[in-house]
């Protein structure tokens, strides 16, 4: 086991993909940003997932491109059914981000750093959507972004 070290969390861009609005984040181990090929792989995977996704009511969410210590992780998370987070995970070896494949049942689906981003997004969803049921503010939710080391 290794001592916990904070990782870089950076908002990269707001993506429009097949009518979806998705916040793209980079999470990186011992660097400011994920490598460009990890970010590009995340954009590709998200486009593939969202092109066929029908389980969402809002077409908003976030993408995590995690350039980790031993592997690359991409997760595409989106909100539906008022308070549910749909979570799709892809993995690859560290030096092969272009080879991302869907996580298997035996793979982990989230790590402590990914949970940090998910919790930030949870708080934003509660603040801008669930606490305003008659006038949810999706634009304010999308404008709230995580940029820190944590």
Where helices occur in 2-95 by DSSP H, the ranges are 36-51
* pLDDT digits 0-9 by tens, 63-81: 999 999 999 999 999 999 9
Q: Which residues make beta-bridge pairs with 78?
A: 61, 86
Inter-residue contact 34 to 126 (CB < 8 Å): no
Inter-residue contact 61 to 14 (CB < 8 Å): no
Name the residue range of residue 93's domain.
8-113
- Residue 133, domain member (yes or no): no
- Residue 60, domain member (yes or no): yes
* pLDDT digits 0-9 by tens, 92-131: 999 999 999 999 988 888 999 999 999 999 999 999 999 9
Per-residue confidence (pLDDT) for residue 62, from 0 to 100: 98
Question: Where do we find the tokens 């820190």?
Answer: 148
- Residue 27, domain member (yes or no): yes
pTM for the whole thing?
A: 0.96
Average pLDDT over residues 8-37: 97
- Residue 45, domain member (yes or no): yes
- Residue 118, domain member (yes or no): no
- Residue 24, domain member (yes or no): yes
Inter-residue contact 12 to 39 (CB < 8 Å): yes
Residue 56 has pLDDT above 80, yes or no: no
In the chain, the number of structural domains is 1
- Residue 65, domain member (yes or no): yes
Confidence grade of residue 54 (pLDDT, cut at 50, 70, 90): confident
- Residue 2, domain member (yes or no): no
């Amino acid at each position: 086991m290794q001592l916990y070290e904070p990782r870089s969390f950076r908002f990269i861009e707001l993506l429009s993909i097949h009518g979806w609005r998705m916040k793209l984040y980079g999470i990186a181990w011992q660097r400011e940003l994920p490598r460009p090929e990890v970010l590009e792989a995340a954009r590709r995977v998200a486009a593939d997932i969202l092109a066929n996704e029908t389980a969402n009511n809002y077409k908003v969410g976030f993408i995590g491109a995690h350039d980790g210590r031993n592997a690359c992780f991409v997760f595409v998370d989106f909100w539906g059914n008022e308070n549910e987070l749909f979570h799709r995970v892809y993995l690859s070896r560290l030096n092969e981000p272009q080879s991302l494949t869907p996580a298997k049942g035996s793979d982990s689906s989230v790590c402590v750093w990914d949970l940090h981003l998910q919790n930030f997004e949870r708080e934003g969803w509660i603040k801008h959507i669930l606490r305003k049921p008659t006038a949810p503010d999706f634009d304010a939710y999308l404008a709230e972004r995580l940029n820190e080391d944590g």
